[in-house]
């Protein structure tokens, strides 16, 4: 079977965000459904922020909706619309996947952080015992902060245009993980790993999240933006002799965790499952 076979019994999964022009999750899930002979389909739901309450009201009425992946800008706002939070979402204060239970309950979780760390491990960029600068403390950034600290970073600095939000996140991560975490400016000098968890780089006119001239050769630079072409940050970092990684491995890593949460077994070809060899 080369295409999903849609019937009246087909289970529906969605990807909710704005915009979704670069989204790859529907392709990934529909390929998985075909391979595993699951009568299900994943479709994009392009929902603007002001329309989110109306969308949720309509989605709640669909008895064949089994789950949703949630992306920008809804990861934090969607918290108000679920019935229960997985510990990952309670810790971070955001979600990126919802499991719709047969009894009507929606359970939210977030796997951006563990997905980012798993992707880094796959690429040989494990953050353990390294000094890390994380730029961005929104939904994805918060999840990455907890996961990087839990993965054994020697120290972590969180930078955000909202300095209070960065400071509050640093305090929460310290209390939860025991890692040495501070908030500070987005100066990459002296760090072994730099992670961009902001949207800066999605548009060619965006400012750089960090000054690439302050990057030392050999620094690991992870830009979680999943784009076909290298972002300006990655191009500049590569020119400085840095080791760079795009958002692809993180996207695959979080898919492994999210699909397990939704009840599916998945691991990209050539990759190891979480807990396996890095």
The pLDDT tens digits for 230-256 are: 999 999 999 999 999 999 999 899 989
Residues in contact with 175: Cβ distance below 8 Å, sequence separation at least 6, in sequence order = none
Q: Which tokens sit at 65?
A: 């909706």
The pLDDT tens digits for 155-167 are: 999 999 999 999 9
Query: Is residue 192 scored above 60 in pLDDT?
Result: yes
The pLDDT tens digits for 89-125 are: 999 999 999 999 999 999 999 999 999 999 999 999 9
pLDDT value of residue 3: 52
Q: How far is CA 190 from CA 34, 123, 193, 212, in A?
A: 47, 22, 9, 12
Q: Which residues are catalytic?
A: 75
The pLDDT tens digits for 219-235 are: 999 999 988 789 999 99
pTM above threshold 0.95: no
Residue-range domains of the chain with CATH: 11-110 (3.40.50.10860), 113-250 (3.40.50.720)
Query: Is residue 265 scored above 50 in pLDDT?
Result: yes
Summarize the confidence of residues 53-70 as an average pLDDT.
97
Q: Which tokens sit at 227?
A: 């784009």
Q: Which tokens sit at 51?
A: 């329309």
Burial 81-114 (b: 16+ CB within 10 A, else e): bbeebbebbebbbbbbbbbbeeeeebbbbbbbbb
Which region among 14-28, 65-79, 115-129, 133-147 has the lowest average model confidence (pLDDT)?
14-28
């Amino acid at each position: 079977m080369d295409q999903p076979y849609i019937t009246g019994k087909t289970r529906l999964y969605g990807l909710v965000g704005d915009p979704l022009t670069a989204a790859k999750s529907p392709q990934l899930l529909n390929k998985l459904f075909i391979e595993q002979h699951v009568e299900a389909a994943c479709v994009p739901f392009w929902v603007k922020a002001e329309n989110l309450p109306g969308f949720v009201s309509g989605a709640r009425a669909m008895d064949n909706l089994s789950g949703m992946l949630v992306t920008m800008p809804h990861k934090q706002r969607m918290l108000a619309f679920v019935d229960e939070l997985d510990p990952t979402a309670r810790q971070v204060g955001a979600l990126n996947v919802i499991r719709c239970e047969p009894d009507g309950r929606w359970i939210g979780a977030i796997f951006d952080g563990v997905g980012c760390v798993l992707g880094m491990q796959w690429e040989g960029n494990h953050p353990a015992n390294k000094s890390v600068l994380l730029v961005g403390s929104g939904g994805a950034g918060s999840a990455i902060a907890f996961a990087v600290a839990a993965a054994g970073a020697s120290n972590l600095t969180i930078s955000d245009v909202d300095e209070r939000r960065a400071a509050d996140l640093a305090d929460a991560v310290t209390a939860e993980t025991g890692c040495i975490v501070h908030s500070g400016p987005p100066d990459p000098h002296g760090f072994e790993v730099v992670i961009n968890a902001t949207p800066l780089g999605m548009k060619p006119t965006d400012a750089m999240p960090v000054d690439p001239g302050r990057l030392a050769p050999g620094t690991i630079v992870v830009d979680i933006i999943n784009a076909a072409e290298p972002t300006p940050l990655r191009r500049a970092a590569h020119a400085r002799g840095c080791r760079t990684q795009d958002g692809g491995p993180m996207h695959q890593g979080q898919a492994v965790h999210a699909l397990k949460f939704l009840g599916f077994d998945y691991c990209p070809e050539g990759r190891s499952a979480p807990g396996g060899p890095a």
